[in-house]
Amino acid sequence: MVRDGYDLIVVGGGHAGIEAAAAGARMGCTTLLVSLPGGVGQLSCNPAVGGVGKGQLVKEIDALGGLMGELADAACIQFRRLNTTRGAAVQSSRMQVDLDVYPAAASARLKNLSGLDLLEDEMVDLQIRGDRVAGIRLAQGGELSAKCVVITPGTFFHGLIHIGSEHFPGGRLGDPAAEQLPQRLQALGLNFGRFKTGTTPRLDGATIDFLRLAEQKGDAEYLPFSVRSPRTPVLPQRSCFAGHTNLKTHQIIRENLGKSALYSGQITGTGVRYCPSVEDKIVKFPERDSHHVFVEPEGLNTPRWYPNGLSNSLPLDVQLEMVHSVSGLENARIVQTGYGIEHDYLDPTQLKPTLETKHIAGLFFAGQINGTTGYEEAAAQGLVAGVNAACQVLSRPPFILDRSQAYIGVLIDDLVTKGTNEPYRMFTSRVEYRLVIREDNADERLTPLGHALGLVSEVDYGQYTQRVAARHQEYERLKNHRVTGTAAVNQQLQAWELSPIQGSSTLLEVLRRPEVDYVRLAQLDPDTQQIPTEVRQSVDVRVKYEGYIKRQMAEVERFKDLESIRIPATFQYEGLPGINNEIVEKLTRIRPLNLGQASRVSGVTPAAIMLLMMHLKKKSNRG
């Protein structure tokens, strides 16, 4: 039953909206989630969660008490760890998920949350009183008042779908675009740009020759995203398959570039550099004879498969010819056409680090509207926006994660400080302190914060303290237990081409050797076999990278020194000696919260930061 008068209204039922609404309700705010019919938790692109840099986001969302990790675990049909041959800092988890189970699990979870109402409708306008949001107006349901509003429209703002020369409004295929609301927001003084993304054709699995593709099975060892999920998969697991484009594929695309909405000039928005369309790949990498095509299942009870790598905006007949040129897909039937989509995005430098707009109090934006791409980036923003909206309602301090605490902190700081001129995607390479903020220690970094917010229950927090204690206990065991260099032990080391143990060594010293992992350690010490996998993973990283981690922690402390120098919200940059007008304009527009954020504003020089620091210290001493 919808009431008039909510603490928090969340608009949009995608991944950002789910997290924002759940956070608001669980923190004790009366919350309404407004979404289009059937729009909760949809996987509009590839039904996969996680990936390089993105898996860390999902782990952090879970550590804070968010939902994405649990939903992915409930729908997982394949799990893989990526970058396992590289260092721990860049290893990430990825799940292929069932596109029907995931949204069903999301809807069920939201319906069971106390204090959360769900409404299928479209928001068409905001209620504004003075410089503050006061509620929303719906297409069908009249007006509803609220203390805070979080808008998470995904690709729906002025969404325009392109298939060859054909184009028509749509937020995604089959759903209408939002036209009134973005116009209203522009009239309120918010600035928008235009981005482009796209998706692949979906194929009928019964028409794919999988024997001509390379099978890719999931990992034998399953590691769920969420600490609250079962340690074994809920659903049956499925294989993915790998194929390649070829010279014939490339020739078909080149001959039809004029029919592509992207290359005919029909699309003007900036596309995703790190996940380009197949037309982009052929044009920008002409020396390549082939590109990967990963054929991935969309679910257990659907015939649809997703040919990852064939995103395009070509006409349907050209898409069919292109698909049929790939080995194994010669007879594949397209059950849904691929398409490109242009949409509005909000310049994120108009937002505070809380994701509240600087110009309209109580109005928050989260997700793809802020210039990002990907479910995980959207969910992370939704969680932060929902938490901060609830904090504002409850008169609690804002919740801001810095770059040394979380990938989420890097994501939001990049957006609100630097902005973006292309769809933003999270990568490990964006994260300066990635050795300190890894997947395996997300709970140690963030679960106490989630508990303090009220998002992590007492039961879950108790289990967290047990996990931390188990890791500490194992580290102490390794440090205090010694293995003697007996003939049998040294014979095993010799078989591994390792130097023998002279006298005895602690297990910690043995595990510190790069060539020794927990599997090998267990062959030298039988008690090691009893250590749970997740404890092994965390302790192994700590032991092997301890020196590097200590050095990076020293860097973090220096970083925090700058972050600790606050800049008053009313600080006047005009007239400061030694700082030019361009820097003054940028700092005035961004309004950084502290000296650290100011140092990351594009074009602000180290010399300007030093001058600003001296001025702030003088002002502090006078105050």
- Give DSSP secondary structure letters for 417-468: II--SS-B---GGG-TTTTTS-STTHHHHHHHHHHHHT-S-HHHHHHHHHHH
Looking at residue 261, what is its pLDDT?
80
Q: What are phi and psi of 12, to 5 degrees?
A: 110, 125
**So what's the pLDDT on residue 558?**
87
- Cα 474 from Cα 245, distance rounded (Å): 48
For 475, residues 6+ apart whose C-beta sits below 8 A from its C-beta are: 508, 539, 542, 543
What phi and psi, each to the nearest 5 degrees, are found at residue 188?
A: -80, 0
| Cα–Cα separations (whole angstroms), residue 222 to 63, 84, 231, 234, 484 | 19, 14, 7, 11, 34
Backbone angles phi, psi at 534, to 5 degrees: -70, -30
Say how far apart CA 353 and CA 593 lie, in whole Å: 8
**Please, how many CA atoms are within 13 Å of residue 1, restricted to the half-sphere of its CB?**
1
Q: Is 554 helix (H, G, I), strand (E, B) or coil?
A: helix
What pLDDT score does 622 carry? 61
pTM, entire model? 0.94
Amino acid of residue 623: G
Three-class SS state of 258:
helix
- The first and second tokens of residue 453, run together, are 């917010």
What SS3 class is residue 64?
Answer: coil
Question: Can you tell me the distance from the alpha carbon of 155 to that of 192, in angstroms, rounded to the nearest whole number?
Answer: 13
How many other CB atoms are there within 10 angstroms of residue 525's CB atom?
17
| Low pLDDT (below 70) residues in the chain | 1, 264, 267-269, 271-274, 620-623
8 A C-beta contact, residue 238 and residue 300: yes
Residue 536, SS3 per DSSP: helix
Spell out where 101-213 has E strands: 116-120, 123-129, 132-138, 142-151, 160-163, 166-169, 192-199, 202-204
| pLDDT for residue 197 | 87
**Cα gap 10→152, rounded to integer Å:** 7
Which token pair is 67?
């939902």
d(CA 600, CA 588) in angstroms, rounded, equals 14
Token readout for 456 is 């992590």
Quick check: 282 and 250 in contact, CB under 8 A? yes
pLDDT given at position 575: 84
**Per-residue tokens: 534:** 């997740």
Contacts of 491 (CB under 8 A, 6+ apart): none
